[in-house]
Amino acid sequence: PCRSVLTVACEQTEVLLFDPISSKHIKTLSEAHEDCVNNIRFLDNRLFATCSDDTTIALWDLRKLNTKVCTLHGHTSWVKNIEYDTNTRLLVTSGFDGNVIIWDTNRCTEDGCPHKKFFHTRFLMRMRLTPDCSKMLISTSSGYLLILHDLDLNKSLEVGSYPVLRARRTTSSSDVTSSGSSGPRAVGSPSQQNDLGPLSEKQMSRSSHREGGSPRNSLEVLTPEVPGERDRGNCITSLQLHPKGWATLLRCSSNTDDQEWTCVYEFQEGAPVRPVSPRCSLRLTHCIEEANVGRGYIKELCFSPDGRMISSPHGFGIRLLGFDAHCSELVDCLPKEASPLKEIRSLYSHNDVVLTTKFSPTHCQIASGCLSGRVSLYQPKF
């Protein structure tokens, strides 16, 4: 958060730490986990969490990196996502076991910390909290986007214990959630995952709709509109939130794996203008087709700290994208219909497919990492 350290999650059990200003290598945690490291999240300026395919989460202190603060056990498959509620100081993780687990970091010991299963859904890919922690968004490999409104992390959600907000028939609650585990699932090509239940117009309508106000932890089930999808279904591989909570950013791949899109969806809050015609919470505003390289790998994209630009992996580099050519605020250039994102600049410095990119929270600086392990840092010339 204070931009003093850049952390890098690596495939072969390692975590790398760099000084992003000098590009100096600070330290390598060579055995941070027993399998691939997937994600890193800072809880404050010194404490950070890592998650891994070894099914664990580890807490680390920058002041003492020789040993972990503690290791957290609770998932039964690859752990892919870490979020943190700064209001309650609760750590939130999700994995390919379909579980979202809450960890009470207020009561951590060397043996771990108390935890509970908060939510379960099949085919879970990514989970995010909005900046104010009022909503939880969950994307799935079968093309659904789940939104838990008016979030209360202190209440665990069992199947059927939450209201499902919808105005017309979509998928049933039993199709989205299940009391049993879906078991481990590798990240592969979406075309290899047709058994995950791709969407069909004949089976359900395109989206479910939210009806005005809602009780705590109300679940909305959406099928986001994706350009070029043409009824083939899609896999939502990457999920990010606008830093001001205005929109969500998705990276989607078609089930035939021949198209890949970056899409921006505006949050539409409050009751609909016409109560007889409810609307869903999200509306597609901008999109752009991606390079569709690196088959089977997830490409993580991000918003800039002010939310005016998007950095997106694109082949052997990254593209900086804006809502218009002037990098205007999203609220100042909302189109009536979905419009293309504008390419502001392309940066190519890798010799392999770029998988991740991140803006510095405080400086005019971007980092990118590619499949072969190279990390690049960019900053503008003034």
Tell me if 206 is assigned to some domain: no
Model confidence pLDDT, tens digit, residues 308-358: 999 999 999 999 999 999 999 999 999 999 999 999 999 999 999 999 999
3-state DSSP assignment of residue 271: coil
Tell me if 252 is assigned to some domain: yes
Between 40 and 181, residue with greater pLDDT: 40
Separation between Cα atoms, residue 255 and residue 259, nearest integer Å: 9
pLDDT band, residue 226 (cuts 50/70/90): confident
pLDDT band, residue 381 (cuts 50/70/90): confident
Instruction: For residues 138 and 3, state if they share a domain.
Output: yes
Mean pLDDT of 282-311: 93
| Dihedral (Cα; 61, 64, 66, 67), 10-degree rounding | -50
Between 3 and 145, residue with greater pLDDT: 145
Looking at the DSSP assignment, which residues form a beta bridge with residue 6?
Answer: 18
Between 202 and 91, residue with greater pLDDT: 91
Tell me if 101 is assigned to some domain: yes
Angle at Cα 243 formed by Cα 239 and Cα 246, nearest 5°?
A: 80
Say which CATH number the domain at 120 has: 2.130.10.10
Instruction: For residues 120 and 259, state if they share a domain.
Output: no
> Of 130-134, 167-171, 290-294, where does mean pLDDT reach its minimum?
167-171
Listed in sequence order, the residues at least 6 apart from 180 whose beta carbon sits closer than 8 Å to its beta carbon are none
Tokens of 163: 């209201």
Q: Report the run of H or E that residue 165 belongs to, with start and end.
A: strand 164-165
Instruction: For residues 143 and 4, state if they share a domain.
Output: yes
Instruction: For residues 127 and 264, state if they share a domain.
Output: no
**For the chain, how big is the Rg over CA atoms in Å?**
20
Instruction: For residues 98 and 2, state if they share a domain.
Output: yes
> Of 16-20, 105-109, 121-125, 350-354, where does mean pLDDT reach its minimum?
105-109
Whether the predicted pLDDT of 4 surpasses 80: yes
Separation between Cα atoms, residue 55 and residue 276, nearest integer Å: 46
Which of 196, 223, 250 marks a domain boundary?
A: 223
How many domains is the chain partitioned into structurally?
2
What does pLDDT average to over the chain? Answer: 83
Percentage of the chain modeled with pLDDT above 70: 81
Integer angstrom CA distances of residue 136 from 93, 117, 245, 369? 12, 15, 12, 27
Nearest to residue 96, comparing CAs of 237, 203, 226? 237
Instruction: For residues 20 and 126, state if they share a domain.
Output: yes
Beta-carbon-side half-sphere exposure of residue 92 (alpha carbons within 13 Å)? 26
Tell me if 244 is assigned to some domain: yes
Instruction: For residues 266 and 370, state if they share a domain.
Output: yes
Which of 193, 223, 253 marks a domain boundary?
A: 223
Tell me if 102 is assigned to some domain: yes
pLDDT band, residue 194 (cuts 50/70/90): very low
Separation between Cα atoms, residue 314 and residue 142, nearest integer Å: 23
Instruction: For residues 134 and 281, state if they share a domain.
Output: no
3-state DSSP assignment of residue 148: strand
Give me the phi and psi of 358, to 5 degrees please.
-155, 135
Looking at the DSSP assignment, which residues form a beta bridge with residue 369?
Answer: 356, 375
Instruction: For residues 257 and 152, state if they share a domain.
Output: no
Between 294 and 212, residue with greater pLDDT: 294
Looking at the DSSP assignment, which residues form a beta bridge with residue 112?
Answer: 109
Residue type, 8: V
Mean pLDDT of 70-76: 95
Residue type, 26: I
Instruction: For residues 247 and 144, state if they share a domain.
Output: no
Domain that holds residue 108: 1-159+216-223
Listed in sequence order, the residues at least 6 apart from 361 whose beta carbon sits closer than 8 Å to its beta carbon are 1, 2, 3, 305
Instruction: For residues 113 and 258, state if they share a domain.
Output: no
pLDDT band, residue 209 (cuts 50/70/90): very low
Tell me if 179 is assigned to some domain: no
Tell me if 193 is assigned to some domain: no
Residue type, 298: I
pLDDT band, residue 93 (cuts 50/70/90): very high
Instruction: For residues 34 and 149, state if they share a domain.
Output: yes
Tell me if 19 is assigned to some domain: yes
Model confidence pLDDT, tens digit, residues 151-184: 999 887 765 556 655 433 222 333 444 333 333 3
Q: Is 163 exposed, middle or buried (0-12, 13-18, 19+ CB in 10 A)?
A: middle
| Dihedral (Cα; 200, 196, 239, 156), 10-degree rounding | 110
